[in-house]
Amino acid sequence: MPVGATTDLDDAAIRAAATLIQRSRHVAALVGAGLSAESGVPTFRGDGGLWTRFGEPTFDGWELFNSDPGAWWDDALAAQHRDSEFARALDSARPNAGHVAMAEMEQMGRLAHTITQNIDDLQHRAGCRKLTEIHGNRYLVRCMNCGGRDRLSTISLDRLPPLCPECGGTLKTDTVMFGEPIPEDALRECYRQAALADLFLVVGTSAVVYPAAEFPVMAKRRGAALIEINPEETDLTPLADIVVRAAAGAALAAIVDELRAETMA
């Protein structure tokens, strides 16, 4: 039975998680929508999720972009002028206690790298710098030729599709579309972290989206420990060494408090 498999913020589980983090050489984290939900960003799946309420988006986005990038951009810009619950929530969201705690863990030298499935930029805004956004970032564009990334707000949209200021290649939004391969540099870094980690921290993810869900499993098979922070049971729960069955913000903040206390002891 994993430590702390309860419905409350279990002090024993928090202490055990902090101790394991303190003793580990290379801690990697996988973050999902549950963390940003505490900032008011709607999740896609589950009760109340956007896809549950409104249906899943088109699965041919990548195909449509490739067939006519200019038309795709034209449609995307038009959509910005229509009401979008997700877009409004992203634009108004602020980093929560969980984001801040993970940034502090990184600054303490206890968190080596974070793989986030979220596109909301909140971890970066909280101060995380050792970060792989495996599904991209809503506020960036990516060149399809050289792979360079830039802020969407700095790119001229007078011509569609917009072109890379460095190489002249076609730009697309950085977020990964259905059917689009994960960018090679991001995927390579994720596999590297799975190989390096002796502890994987899994926060607020249902662990059903691949390839992200396989990284902690790969690390576990190599002998790494696994800590899960999630209010709900997931497919990774049976593999976890420690389970903190609580909201990410409260759990991560409590773990950081324990790490500070252990450092000062």
> So where are the chain's domains?
1-40+93-136+182-265, 42-92+139-174
Among residues 99, 113, 124, 135, the one annotated as catalytic is 135
CATH architecture, domain defined by 42-92+139-174: 2-Layer Sandwich (3.30)
Residue 26 falls in the annotated catalytic set = no
Residue 77 confidence (pLDDT) above 90: no
pTM here?
Answer: 0.89
pLDDT at position 56 is 54
Percent of the chain's residues with pLDDT above 70: 88
Residue 5 confidence (pLDDT) above 90: no
The predicted-structure confidence for 181-225, as pLDDT tens digits, reads as follows 999 999 999 999 999 999 999 999 988 888 999 999 999 999 999
pLDDT at position 52 is 41
The predicted-structure confidence for 90-105, as pLDDT tens digits, reads as follows 788 899 999 999 999 9
85 falls in which pLDDT band (50, 70, 90)?
Answer: low
> Hey, which residues does 149 pair with through a beta bridge?
142
Q: Exposed, middle or buried: residue 45 (CB in 10 Å: 0-12, 13-18, 19+)?
A: middle
Token readout for 255 is 């773990």
Q: Exposed, middle or buried: residue 251 (CB in 10 Å: 0-12, 13-18, 19+)?
A: buried
Domain 1-40+93-136+182-265 has CATH 3.30.230.30: no
Token readout for 159 is 């011509």
Q: Give the other-Cβ count within 10 Å of 214's Cβ.
A: 16
pLDDT at position 58 is 63
pLDDT at position 54 is 40
148 touches 168 (CB < 8 A):
no
Q: Which amino acid is at 240?
A: A
45 falls in which pLDDT band (50, 70, 90)?
Answer: low
What is the full DSSP assignment across 12-45?
A: HHHHHHHHHHHH-S-EEEEE-HHHHHTTTPPPSS
> Beta strand 113-116 with 27-31: parallel, antiparallel or unpaired?
parallel
